[in-house]
Amino acid sequence: MPDHAAVLFANDAFYVAFANQDFQAMEFVWSERDAVTCIHPGWDVLTDRDEVMESWEQILSNPTPTNISCKSPTVHVFAETAYVVCHEMLDQGYLVATNLFIKEDGQWKMIHHQAGAAPLPDDLEDEPEDTLQ
């Protein structure tokens, strides 16, 4: 299952870049060769890399950082493509997200991210509030 671990690593790199407001790291996560799309909560679909990167530059340049973490990621690999379904924990609430990846020159690169509002996941309902941050 080395591909599962590598996809999970790429997914983690996405959330680390997001949490650290690191635009260069975010650019590295996304495919430069294949078509990419992104749907931020409340936004319309962004359909090319330039639009996607401009959206992340705008989000990551916000003076108030987004306190975000990925919980309960589930990885599915199909040859050269993979996806992760997970919950995003934010100060403002909980989102469910789907992140799609493609193997590009031996590395897993994101080609799609979509997140939307969701209730607190069942597996996290019993955790103390301070562990959800």
Q: What is the pLDDT of residue 128?
A: 45
- Is residue 102 within 8 A of residue 34, CB to CB? The reply is yes
Torsion of CA 4, 5, 11, 13, to 10 degrees: -160
pLDDT at 35 exceeding the cut of 80:
yes
Q: Which CATH class is domain 2-121?
A: alpha beta
Domain regions of the chain by residue span = 2-121
Sheet containing 107-117, strands listed edge to edge, beginning at the edge strand earlier in sequence? 37-39, 107-117, 93-104, 81-90, 68-78
Q: What are 54-82's pLDDT values in tens digits?
A: 999 999 999 988 899 999 999 999 999 99
